[in-house]
Structure 1
Amino acid sequence: MEYKMLFSPMKIGNCEIKNRIVMSPMLMGFGQFDGCVTEQLMDYYEERAKGGTGLIITEITRINDVHGSAAFAQLGASHDYQIAGLHEFAERIHKHGAKLFVQLHHPGRQNVGLAIGTVPVCIAMTRMFKSFPKTLFKIAPKIAPFMSKHNLALSSVSASKCEPSYFAGGRVRALSHREVKKVIRQFIDGALRCQKAGIDGVELHGTHGYLIQQFLSPNTNHRTDEYGGSFENRLRFLREIVEGIRKECGNYPIIVRLTLDEFYSKIGKPEKGYNFETGLKYAKAIADMGVDAIDVSSAAYDTFNYWLEPTSFECGWRKYLAAAVKKEVKIPVLAANLIRTPEQA
């Protein structure tokens, strides 16, 4: 079979992509503590470009070092010193005809307690002692349970003070109004750095229960200011990020990754979160913001099995989510969906 559609070109905004094969973002943990790229990270992604992938979307890339690091060895777009490495990364991917988008991310309440407030210190320690990362990874399995048991970790942040995520644990505090504005600015600055580095576009990670989704979800957003309450207010955090990137980066391509259904009904808690109907409403509103594509996924950490499925799940079981969005919007729709063969795609 020729798979004409799969190998036909497409455009996301002004970015021309040679085919419709997209590498979905997933954390590999190959970055440096300071968020810079490594040879291992670039080699890993370059092999996917060599194999014919049209678009590569990187793993979660932090825009905030203090309460926005989901892992120590994580890629970053939080400082200007990371631009040079991102530029080299883009060049490595481009020489094989592929395009590269960076996924900008903040974990919110789905953080790792040991990483909250400690990443800047770890960056400094690594610059003084090259062996520090190896030492940290040896002692972290012992430190983390102790900190959790005695409630010693700093609080993670979210749209509101709320229950901690099932997998992350710890305490959660609400971002102040000033902090909300600062995080919005950090997302915009992250996009600017990617643009300066020659990265082809950015994806805003609004799914799997991370911070953007925490503003969208009534399960985690109980704010009483302009960022909470109504549907429009819950959308405002994302809207201001998109509008800020548009204002400062022009027609730089933007993808929003969106959870279409938080699937709390699947774990017997339908009163929590938002469902398919609300997710579809979000998708239409996001398309109307002028973004260039929507990357459809589902769930959160509390409903983990419905976005990182066990192998017992049927391939393509989530295709109805992306199909529903495609009927409602006029921009490209990406879909992560247990797609393992060209026939399924």
Structure 2
Amino acid sequence: MTVNDAPAQQYFVQQHAAPGAAHDPITAPALFQPLTIRGVTFANRIQVSPMCMFSAHPTERHRNPTSHLVHIAPLKRISDFVHYHDGKLGIQLAHAGRKACMYAPFVPDLGRGLVPESDGGWPNAVVAPSPVQWDESMAMPHELSVDEIKDLVQAFADAAARCEKAGFDVVEIHGAHGYLIHQFLSPVSNARTDTYGGSLENRARFLMEIVQAVRAVWPAEKPVFLRLSCTDWVADSSWDIDEVIEVAKMVAPLGVDVLDCSTGGNHPKQKIPVGPLYQVPFAQRVKKAVQDLKVVAVGLITTAQEANKVVEEGKADAVMLAREFLRDGWVYRAAHELGVEVAFIDQYRAGKRRPNM
């Protein structure tokens, strides 16, 4: 940038606002009120839920023994772009456990089936807290040893450290949907008799160790989110909202700032009463019981009015949506429906609707 360019550049920065930020947050509806957690301020209460898209883009770099380092640069380019527009970016850390090595659900005739070695799978290397299959179509997992558990805890911490170098604002630990952490938490998948099984304290030990390890390497000014399934939706499982609340009370002092409340995913016989806002009551229960945590509600929240009501009525501090963001620019549509003037990225201002449109 030359000296002559400086005034124009300065004007741009001063006039710029985070996309989705209300022009007048004082009078904006609850959904468009800013939210500050630690040192991070979100422009509104709307978040894009992490989505497993089965679409990692492989390159020759994946074959490199230092691939854990070279993956940082592409992610840093993404975070730099988001931050240039004053946005905030989070990343979810997960391990699939016994649900690993499966075809993408949209693969014709193979969706969610086990990937054999002949097609690039690793069925003999699938791990879990106990040798309990998800169902007969999935791999029989290897029971993790204590040393292997410790290695995985360190792997989560190492991943969080790389996410910091890549410039992310939030890291979320995925303990829901039947993935490895959830498998430890739930008695339907954890049959261990050592210090990682049996009592709730033992079943939660893996999660507690991960939280401590991640928080130790993650900057103090940045939030840590935790996603939990708040029930297995299985009649004979004790992993339900009451145990979730107890675990929430455990993780809050360890540095978890936000509990992202989902449900299900850990048993093929689960009976989920899917419908509009069906998971919001779980977020509401956690928010009422654990004052030290912010809470996010998810689950078939589709309209601006529904989302605003969840926040306005104090059932959650924010909402996450997934499918709606695959369909359109949901934030801007919601702002229009609620009559809120919000900031646009400069290049997209031409798409801003007038009040009578």
User: Normalising to structure 2: TM-score of the pair?
Assistant: 0.68
**Correspondence for 2:192 among 217, 223, 229:** 223
Deviation at 1:283, TM superposition (A): 2.1
2:126 equivalent in structure 1: 156
| Closer/same/farther in 2, CA of residues 167 and 5 from structure 1, 3 Å limit | farther
Q: Share of identical aligned residues, percent?
A: 35
Residue identity matched to 2:305: E
**Correspondence for 1:317 among 265, 268, 278:** 278
Deviation at 1:35, TM superposition (A): 10
**Alpha-carbon distance in structure 2 between the residues aligned to 1:9 and 1:186:** 33
Q: Answer whether contact 1:258 1:283 (CA < 8 A) is retained.
A: no
RMSD: 3.3
| Closer/same/farther in 2, CA of residues 89 and 304 from structure 1, 3 Å limit | farther
* Partner SS, residue 160 of structure 2: helix
Aligned ranges for residues 303-342 of structure 1 at < 5 Å? 313-329=274-290, 330-342=292-304
Aligned ranges for residues 20-59 of structure 1 at < 5 Å? 20-33=45-58
**Correspondence for 2:253 among 288, 291, 298:** 288
**Correspondence for 2:262 among 297, 303, 309:** 297
Q: Answer whether contact 1:10 1:19 (CA < 8 A) is retained.
A: yes
**Correspondence for 1:189 among 152, 155, 158:** 158
Render the CA deviation track for 1:191-219: whole Å, top value 9, x for unaligned. 00000111112100000010011111111
Residue identity matched to 1:171: M
| Closer/same/farther in 2, CA of residues 168 and 236 from structure 1, 3 Å limit | farther
* Partner SS, residue 296 of structure 1: strand
Higher RCO structure, 1 or 2 (CA under 8 Å, sep 6+): 2
Deviation at 1:229, TM superposition (A): 1.9
**Alpha-carbon distance in structure 1 between the residues aligned to 2:35 and 2:159:** 25
| Closer/same/farther in 2, CA of residues 30 and 114 from structure 1, 3 Å limit | closer
**Correspondence for 2:230 among 260, 268, 281:** 260
Deviation at 1:278, TM superposition (A): 1.5
Deviation at 1:23, TM superposition (A): 0.4
1:198 equivalent in structure 2: 167
| Closer/same/farther in 2, CA of residues 238 and 145 from structure 1, 3 Å limit | closer
**Alpha-carbon distance in structure 2 between the residues aligned to 1:161 and 1:185:** 22
1:4 equivalent in structure 2: 29
Deviation at 1:106, TM superposition (A): 0.2
User: Normalising to structure 1: TM-score of the pair?
Assistant: 0.70
Structure 2: gaps spanning 5 or more residues: 1-26, 308-357
2:312 equivalent in structure 1: none
Deviation at 1:145, TM superposition (A): 7.2
* Partner SS, residue 30 of structure 1: coil
1:48 equivalent in structure 2: none
* Partner SS, residue 165 of structure 1: coil
Instruction: Out of 244-253 and 191-200, give the one that drifted further.
Output: 244-253
* Partner SS, residue 333 of structure 1: strand
**Alpha-carbon distance in structure 1 between the residues aligned to 2:70 and 2:269:** 35
Render the CA deviation track for 1:80-109: whole Å, top value 9, x for unaligned. 111111111111222332211110010000
2:91 equivalent in structure 1: 102
Deviation at 1:36, TM superposition (A): 8.2
Q: Answer whether contact 2:34 2:43 (CA < 8 A) is retained.
A: yes
Which one has a bigger Cα radius of gyration?
2
Count matched residues. 272
